[in-house]
Structure 1
């Protein structure tokens, strides 16, 4: 059960709905704790292949809840530091999920909300979505989200937008590399499903290894160490059952086992007031 999240599992896909619509899904201590825990639980669930992050109400996420931020500002330095560390841990936990993650963005994704988008592997946005690293307008900096936003848009663009806090349209965010696809609002869910369908064709172990590969190779100079590391990675995967099955299935002109075994499973909702009940939806 969660107070701030509504998690719908329709195996092999889990959709994590941020469920604080009255405050535009802004973060507070409970939200940070629950999203961290949910990421760990869903990542460990072997029946799941893809995780979608979305927001209830008018916005994806407006970042930090101002009341929570005021409380942290009034706390002593040690408590303040611990609180900031929990936020940073939440973002890293989302970023390091071994499964593919998709941010389904409508409305505003501001501050920490833009951090959530950046921490996900893929972003599909409505044409009406908007983004900003708005922290400097509150006299703050986008510290916890910075590794993920800089990874998404690059240092040069970060120098501008971390300081100006300009609001970005979905189209501009796509130009910067933050957003992968921009679609009309009525096509948002169908585009997300299209990406999910494409992801389900890949080997789950290979996708996890691909994410780890990117984290370890990005920004590295191509030297003997990198060459040896990449050679070792592919050699290890080639010897694994998943790769053998994938190559055999291709030669036999059939679906690999990980695609063939996908079947409709009962959907499960985990939200405030529910007890992981099975639904008919």
Structure 2
């Protein structure tokens, strides 16, 4: 299976490793990567021989969030394009969330913005204890819109509100407390911890696993088409605002946005 922005391998046990493979861009979610992840989820999710999938990132970080060039393009795009691009991101998250195959995140370095969203659509996430996390959208004049349903489902509203709006960066121990990750441990122990998550799936019926996962989703937070469409509309709307244009311009030009107070 070949993708432009992903590296996919399958071991003799039928355990797949999917690597976000834009290390030079800190694995930021470009339009191509969104399409690749959607296709991967649909294709591998339909492959009943795959027992589990490990999602990881190449290079220094797991995922730095949305690609800034892609986000900047939405500021000058027409509304139809903005809606389509917000839908592209939403559909990717939905495809990953809905796939019947167990999905395990291996997080190192950092997971920011959409990277937190990826962690929250996985069934379990294990992190390097030095990894950093943050829902950093409001710093740019944006909001965590399309990832929002999955973040709230994972953390619960009360815990999510601690970090959902502030763009505060926090460590792996707090990510564990918030429910984003199940375990945070030294980088040297990550592979062993991932193997411990994979191993049980080699002893259970794949069809039953998929059915149990679907049941868990149906009993949890409702993330239906109406919910997803609401997040698409919210992201489209925020892209049309003056704050987003100013925030992205300031970030790309390495200047402080007007809302950032100067240090004493």
Indicate the TM-score class for this superposition, using the shorter chain for normalisation. Answer: 0.7 to 0.9
Deviation at 1:211, TM superposition (A): 1.0
Deviations 1:81-120 (A, max 9, x none): 1000010000010011101110000011000010000000
Q: Which has the larger radius of gyration?
A: 1
Q: Partners of 2:220 and 2:43 in 1: how far apart?
A: 28
Q: Give the conservation status (yes or no) of the 8 Å contact 2:61–2:111.
A: yes
Residue 262 of structure 2 corresponds to none
Residue 2 of structure 1 corresponds to 3
Residue 67 of structure 1 corresponds to 69
Give the match's secondary structure for 1:162: coil
Deviation at 1:160, TM superposition (A): 2.5
Which runs of structure 2 are paired with 1:102-117 in the superposition (5 Å)?
Answer: 102-117=104-119
Q: Give the conservation status (yes or no) of the 8 Å contact 2:106–2:127.
A: yes
Residue 42 of structure 1 corresponds to 44
Q: Structure 2: any 5+ residue segments left out of the alignment?
A: 223-264
The alignment status of 1:89 with 2:91, answered yes or no, reads yes
Residue 163 of structure 1 corresponds to 165
Q: Partners of 2:47 and 2:131 in 1: how far apart?
A: 31
Which runs of structure 2 are paired with 1:82-161 in the superposition (5 Å)?
Answer: 82-161=84-163
Q: Partners of 2:28 and 2:158 in 1: how far apart?
A: 28
Q: Give the conservation status (yes or no) of the 8 Å contact 2:125–2:182.
A: yes
Q: Partners of 1:25 and 1:209 in 2: how far apart?
A: 31
Q: Partners of 1:34 and 1:218 in 2: how far apart?
A: 27
Residue 56 of structure 1 corresponds to 58
TM superposition outliers: structure 1 runs of 4+ over 6 Å: none
Q: Partners of 1:34 and 1:219 in 2: how far apart?
A: 26
Q: Structure 1: any 5+ residue segments left out of the alignment?
A: 221-281
Residue 184 of structure 2 corresponds to 182
Deviation at 1:219, TM superposition (A): 5.6
What is the count of residue pairs matched by the alignment? 220
Q: Give the conservation status (yes or no) of the 8 Å contact 2:116–2:180.
A: no
Q: Partners of 2:198 and 2:99 in 1: how far apart?
A: 16
TM-score, structure 1 as length reference: 0.76
TM-score, structure 2 as length reference: 0.81
Q: Partners of 2:61 and 2:201 in 1: how far apart?
A: 26
**Cα root mean square deviation, aligned:** 1.2
Deviations 1:219-238 (A, max 9, x none): 69xxxxxxxxxxxxxxxxxx
Q: Partners of 2:117 and 2:32 in 1: how far apart?
A: 18
Q: Partners of 2:47 and 2:208 in 1: how far apart?
A: 17
